[in-house]
Amino acid sequence: MSLIADYGFVLLILACAFGFFMAWGVGANDVANAMGTSVGSRALTIKQAIIVAMIFEFCGAYLAGGEVTETIKNGIVDAEVISPDLMVLGMMSALLAAGTWLMIATMKGWPVSTTHSIIGAVIGFAAVGVSTDAVHWEAIGPIVASWVVTPMLSGVVAFGLFMSVQKLIINTDHPFENAKRFVPLYMFLTGFMVALMTVTKGLKHVGLHLSSQQGVVIAFGIGLLVALLGVALLSRIKLDVEADKTFHFASVEKVFAVLMIFTACSMAFAHGANDVANAVGPLAAIVGVIESGGAADIAAKSAVPGWVLLLGALGIVIGLATYGYKVIATIGKEITELTPSRGFAAELATATTVVGASAIGLPVSTTHTLVGAVLGIGIARGIGALNLGMIGKIFLSWIITLPAGAILSIIFFFILRSLFGGV
């Protein structure tokens, strides 16, 4: 424990810097998954998307990010096998490695999975730098399986939502009137789903504990308020006869553009709730070890400090504001042609899947989930509607990211070990 005793404060400062760097990368690269569809469908401008995302990414990260953070912190590696000194250096290496890879990918405009980056980095330092016994391999299986299951689930949900829009609104004699009638129901679903996750899981981190029944009642009330707000906003939209001559569903899409604001908020919240863990999970582990004086068993059981979630949330927001616009524009326009009605289905399906995964502490890839949702809509429209070349590049980035995170983490781990006296 000499390393922690001698350099505890220095290690903590470095860890916070690396954690913030990783969070910046999450905001700069992965936030496109939250906002890209809104921008691509022209429901929001890039500037508006950044403002919406900044608010709701922060809320999702701070209020609901704790469950997944615990998984990244304790669920992947065995704190009893790894010495406290090596745990601190390893988690620092993982943060630096994942942050570096995200910076490279963002500069290149590649939409990569931040979840892959950090999990690959954590496994890399633990398996190679310490021992293969240090990795909870049985915990890796469900996480990897989720990377396959969640895109499929999200695709099915998006397909169902898009087909319901087709049946209830688009393929009717009076699509505009039906849009104004049914869109508030979709708004209720959006508000209810996000609120339920927040009040039953997230608010524990701010000291408010509610029963499941109380959570459902509160979530129902919030969903109802969202729907009523939607009705008020929709009442201002009038049938545009001239625009409908050019595009038959122009007025309908204006209705869905209002809905997209709500689904964009829910998507940003879900993204923050799930992906803040990628930045602050390792940081939480480091803080726990240092604060416990090197007692790894105590650190593993310690709660995630609120200020750690706050640091991650701030990092995500700054990354989004400074560099996020590049990847937002790419994702929003190059996977498939999006309209508000299509974008809504993709966003709500992705948000629902990610929020559900966050509730059970499963770190899923938002990138995978969104692409699955977009593919579901593409299948509903016909495969020719998809940019298969772009999708191929995204699939390739998924394959590369995991080993890239692992290799960089191993390199940084041995560098840090040598810098701190070959611990």
User: What number is the average pLDDT over the span 41-52?
Assistant: 79
pLDDT of residue 356: 76
For the segment 100-142, what is each residue's pLDDT rounded down to a tens digit? 999 988 887 777 778 788 888 989 988 887 788 878 787 777 7
Q: Does the pLDDT at position 300 exceed 60?
A: no
**pLDDT tens digits along 311-351:** 888 888 888 888 877 677 666 666 666 677 777 788 788 87
Q: Higher-confidence residue: 97 or 51? A: 97
Q: Please compute, for residue 89, the number of CA atoms within 13 A of its CA located in the half-sphere on the CB side.
A: 27
Under 8 Å between Cβ of 121 and 93: yes
Over residues 269-290, the pLDDT tens digits come to 777 777 777 777 788 878 888 8
Range of the domain at 24: 2-419
* Angle, alpha carbons 38-44-47 (nearest 5°): 115
Domains: count for the chain: 1
pLDDT of residue 72: 62
Q: Do 157 and 186 meet the contact criterion of CB atoms below 8 Å apart? A: no
Report d(CA 154, CA 369) in Å as an integer. Answer: 6
Contacts of 413 (CB under 8 A, 6+ apart): 89, 90, 93, 124, 125, 128, 129
pLDDT score of 411:
95
- How many whole angstroms separate alpha carbon 67 and alpha carbon 277? 8
- Looking at every residue in the chain, the average pLDDT score rounds to 79
Amino acid in position 61: A
Q: What angle do CA 301, 125, 414 make, to 5 degrees?
A: 120
Q: What percent of the chain has pLDDT over 90?
A: 11
The tens digit of pLDDT for each residue in 19-28 reads 999 989 988 8
Q: pLDDT tens digits, residue range 370-385?
A: 878 878 887 777 666 6
Q: C-alpha angle with apex 168: 166 to 170, nearest 5 degrees?
A: 45
Percent with pLDDT over 70 in the chain: 81
Q: Indicate the SS3 state at residue 247.
A: coil
Tokens of 266: 């829910």
Burial class (CB in 10 A: 0-12, 13-18, 19+), 90: buried
Q: What is residue 112's DSSP assignment?
A: -
For residue range 246-256, list pLDDT tens digits in order. Answer: 656 777 888 88
